Amino acid sequence: MNIYETIFEVIDMRSFSNLWYWIGLAVLWSTASHYVLGVPFDLAQRAKRRGGETMQDLEDLVRINVGRLLNIAEVSGLLLTALSTGLITLLAVTGFVYGIEFCQAVFLMVFPMSVIALLNLRTAHRIRNEAPKGDMLYSFLRRHRFYTQLVGMLSIFITGMWGMYQNLDLGPFGGI
């Protein structure tokens, strides 16, 4: 057995029947909903409860992360947009037109995360423009987390349905 056969046997390019894909998907969405604009949501909840110095820490951390996100968007936003849309299009075409399951699986992870990236930018712009403090800032973060979780639930549902369809359509041996 050569190295390529070993790698493909361990990785299993049939993604939707691979347990590691589903674990990765769960970790992806768990992390995306926990870190709101790069700030751990438990820190936001603690700041809302305690106030004072903890709230000031939250405001500082949000200000830093908002500045970082908006700086990245202003400096290299056009290039990142072109590269990401090119990658997403490549994955969609190779996955759904040419039927490569690995590309379908990656697309179903990357495309919703691009929606989250747009939500992050939208919320960052609102925070910079309105400069909320205290409970209002927590409200912004909570609303953003809700929309992230909504996109995540929809994405997991669509990915699950597509994965079941692929597994039922191809059978246990990949259509052999």
**Domain extent for 54:** 46-167
d(CA 9, CA 48): 49
**Does 13 reside within a domain?**
no
Name the 3-class secondary structure at 175. coil
**Does 12 reside within a domain?**
no
d(CA 111, CA 151): 11
DSSP string, 50-109: H-HHHHHHHHHHHHHHHHHHHHHHHHHHHHHHHHHHHHHHHHHIIIIIS--HHHHHHHHH
Which pLDDT does position 166 carry in this prediction? 86
Q: Which residues pair with 92 in a beta bridge?
A: none
Say how many C-beta atoms besides its own lie within 10 A of residue 30's C-beta.
11
**Does 30 reside within a domain?**
no
pLDDT in tens, the chain (176 residues): 677 777 666 665 567 777 888 899 999 999 999 999 999 999 999 999 988 899 999 999 999 999 999 999 999 999 999 999 999 999 999 999 998 889 999 999 999 999 999 999 999 999 999 989 989 999 999 999 999 999 999 999 999 999 888 888 766 555 54
pTM: 0.83
Radius of gyration of the chain from Cα atoms?
20
**Does 163 reside within a domain?**
yes
Q: Could you give the number of structural domains in the chain? A: 1
**Does 35 reside within a domain?**
no
Which CA distances in Å does 152 have to 30, 61, 62, 65, 112?
Answer: 9, 24, 22, 22, 7
Which pLDDT does position 19 carry in this prediction? 80
Which pLDDT does position 1 carry in this prediction? 63
Which pLDDT does position 51 carry in this prediction? 83
Which pLDDT does position 4 carry in this prediction? 72
**Does 84 reside within a domain?**
yes
**Does 3 reside within a domain?**
no
Do the beta carbons of residue 163 and residue 16 sit within 8 Å? yes
CA dihedral (25, 122, 72, 35) in degrees, to 10, reads: -40
**Does 74 reside within a domain?**
yes
